Chains A and B, each alone.
Chain A
């Protein structure tokens, strides 16, 4: 065995050397390093645990936050919807009120305008009568009785002869309302007369309204329901023109 190098002394030296080294390394290296490794492992485990808890907390917080946000959003959406509805209602109200106001204002203005026109036409009536008389005097060459002249003129314009409406003579009318159109506005007495006359024909419950339409030139046009009694000068002239042809 010598040639292989196996020698009890050297062998025992190696065993001894190993034992010494094992003891020294155990005391100086293994113990502190293993302790340190275990500490580190513990620390890492602790860190992981902490991280896990933190992650969980964060997840919970995120969930809560998401819930709160969702709630807030829902609330906000509802508020907005309500506000929109209310605003729409309010706007509608305002618009309706404004429209009503506008309509009222327009109606008022229209009535005013109509009245103004009637007043002006009423003022004009005297002048027109005077002009007509003057023209007639020139044409006829003689002066008619002043009072008689005015009565004729009034009769021409109002279509009312001695308290009776000319067109209604002999006519048979029935209805709930009547519309009386004249070329120039009628004065109070004439209106009363026409009204009394129409009502006597149609009955006490009927209503009478007055219109002014200069195009008919003179006389009255009475419309009751779908029946029109045309006693206007324009219609007479038209009839005259047709017969002359």
Chain B
């Protein structure tokens, strides 16, 4: 509150801070030693394993990010649970934001699903919250830049440089000034860890010699840039659409797909309608595809744009892009949520007597 009394002073402090950071960025990216320069990221679609394993199941960097989002959500949920169990009415801080989001979701679901809102809410709200949290967690500095070093088998790698040594523990970075072309797939894979950032590059290593021509495998990567995540959500949405359809309408729900009645009674058009029924099945499968690729495409393109622009300009522009990313993270979560709500609530309403001609 005291800062409000001197807004001008605070403004000056902020201005100085921001200009200082800009100057630092310009120095690191264009003037300083090559070791500080940002490196164009390696475009990889599949999630890379971080090296950790849980009983044989490898943890990829996107799964690590998913778990991080899970932890955030669980903490929020537990605090909400404890708050409301005590009979709290007016939450504060993060909890207030959480409640506002929940109220918004609840109102939207109620508007389109009516009395089925309570049964549909858990599915669609979890979709929204997971995507939203995953997209927001992605903004934490260090995402997609800190990780371990990996030997490059083909293409361009960079020579590792030790930054800090503390006993067994070595912090590595890679030097843009020492590119190494690797032609054949020959070389020993280093079991060291390293990282690369847009300007401040750090790496974690355990051993003496990590690798000769290295690239960074980030420890955390945006969840939605792993194609499995959006497709899992899309699959669940379409699956739950069928489940809610059967729940609400019973076996009658499948008449939408197999219109035997039309085939028997409908005359020549009946056969066409029967064929249209099969198209509905394909439509359901296409939903998975479009749902999944929409989210994946938006977030992956955003991350790609961010790292490429970050490597090229390094200063000021990525900040604007980050803002853009926040916006798109919210929009994509909302679109996914809204479409899921519409499909789920649509499945609970009977299509049995709809006119097909």
A residues whose Cβ falls under 8 Å from a Cβ of B? 2-7, 9-11, 13-15, 17-19, 21-30, 32-37, 40
B residues whose Cβ falls under 8 Å from a Cβ of A? 45-47, 57, 60, 62-63, 66, 70, 73-74, 76-78, 80-81, 84-85, 89, 98-99, 102-103, 106, 118, 121-123, 125-127, 129-130, 226-229, 231-233, 235-236
A26 to chain B, nearest CB (A): 4
B77 contact from A6, A9, A13, A29, Cβ within 8 A: A29
CA distance A40 to B130 in the complex (A): 26
Q: Are A7 and B46 in contact (CB under 8 A)?
A: yes
Q: Are A21 and B46 in contact (CB under 8 A)?
A: no
CA distance A228 to B227 in the complex (A): 149
B45 contact from A4, A26, A34, Cβ within 8 A: A4
Q: Are B227 and A5 in contact (CB under 8 A)?
A: yes
> In the complex, which residues of chain B have a beta carbon less than 8 angstroms from the beta carbon of A35?
84
Known: A28-B78, A34-B106. A14 touches B70 (CB 8 A): no
Q: Are A4 and B57 in contact (CB under 8 A)?
A: no
State the main secondary structure of chain A at its contact with B: helix
B230 to chain A, nearest CB (A): 9
Determine which residue in A2, A23, A27, A37 has the highest number of CB atoms from chain B within 10 A of its CB, and name it: A37
Determine which residue in B103, B123, B231, B232 has the highest number of CB atoms from chain A within 10 A of its CB, and name it: B232
Known: A4-B46, A7-B46, A37-B106. A14 touches B66 (CB 8 A): yes
Q: Lowest 9 A-B CB distances belong to which pairs?
A: A5-B46, A14-B232, A32-B84, A28-B77, A28-B81, A22-B126, A29-B77, A10-B228, A26-B122
Q: Are A29 and B76 in contact (CB under 8 A)?
A: yes
Q: Are A30 and B70 in contact (CB under 8 A)?
A: no
Q: Are B228 and A11 in contact (CB under 8 A)?
A: yes
Known: A29-B77, A29-B80. A6 touches B122 (CB 8 A): no
CA distance A28 to B83 in the complex (A): 10
Determine which residue in A3, A11, A22 has the highest number of CB atoms from chain B within 10 A of its CB, and name it: A22
Known: A13-B63, A33-B102. A18 touches B228 (CB 8 A): no
Q: Are B70 and A17 in contact (CB under 8 A)?
A: yes
Can you list 9 pairs linking A and B with CB atoms under 8 Å apart?
Answer: A5-B46, A6-B227, A18-B236, A21-B74, A21-B129, A29-B81, A29-B98, A34-B121, A36-B89
Known: A28-B80, A33-B102. A5 touches B226 (CB 8 A): yes
> In the complex, which residues of chain A have a beta carbon less than 8 angstroms from the beta carbon of B70?
17, 21
Q: Are A32 and B235 in contact (CB under 8 A)?
A: no
Q: Are B80 and A32 in contact (CB under 8 A)?
A: yes
Q: Are B231 and A11 in contact (CB under 8 A)?
A: yes
Q: Are B73 and A21 in contact (CB under 8 A)?
A: yes
> In the complex, which residues of chain A have a beta carbon less than 8 angstroms from the beta carbon of B73?
21, 25
| Chain B residue at minimal CB-CB distance from A39 | B89
CA distance A15 to B102 in the complex (A): 22
A5 contact from B47, B57, B122, Cβ within 8 A: B47
> In the complex, which residues of chain A have a beta carbon less than 8 angstroms from the beta carbon of B63?
10, 13
| Chain A residue at minimal CB-CB distance from B82 | A28
> In the complex, which residues of chain B have a beta carbon less than 8 angstroms from the beta carbon of A40?
89
A40 to chain B, nearest CB (A): 8
Known: A7-B46, A29-B77, A32-B80. A15 touches B227 (CB 8 A): no
> In the complex, which residues of chain B have a beta carbon less than 8 angstroms from the beta carbon of A36?
84, 89
> In the complex, which residues of chain A have a beta carbon less than 8 angstroms from the beta carbon of B231?
6, 11, 14
A32 contact from B85, B129, B226, B229, Cβ within 8 A: B85
> In the complex, which residues of chain A have a beta carbon less than 8 angstroms from the beta carbon of B127?
18
Q: Are B78 and A17 in contact (CB under 8 A)?
A: no
Q: Are A25 and B129 in contact (CB under 8 A)?
A: yes
> In the complex, which residues of chain A have a beta carbon less than 8 angstroms from the beta carbon of B76?
29
B122 contact from A17, A25, A37, Cβ within 8 A: A25
A13 contact from B57, B103, B125, Cβ within 8 A: B57
B54 to chain A, nearest CB (A): 10
| Chain B residue at minimal CB-CB distance from A5 | B46
CA distance A22 to B119 in the complex (A): 12
Determine which residue in A2, A22, A25 has the highest number of CB atoms from chain B within 10 A of its CB, and name it: A25
Q: Are A14 and B122 in contact (CB under 8 A)?
A: no
A131 to chain B, nearest CB (A): 121
Q: Are A33 and B236 in contact (CB under 8 A)?
A: no
Determine which residue in A18, A29, A36 has the highest number of CB atoms from chain B within 10 A of its CB, and name it: A29
> In the complex, which residues of chain B have a beta carbon less than 8 angstroms from the beta carbon of A10?
47, 60, 62-63, 226, 228
A221 to chain B, nearest CB (A): 116
CA distance A68 to B201 in the complex (A): 86
- Known contacts A4-B46, A18-B236, A34-B102, then 7 further A-B pairs from the complex at CB < 8 Å, ordered by chain A residue: A5-B46, A10-B226, A14-B228, A15-B232, A25-B126, A34-B106, A37-B103
> In the complex, which residues of chain A have a beta carbon less than 8 angstroms from the beta carbon of B84?
32-33, 35-36
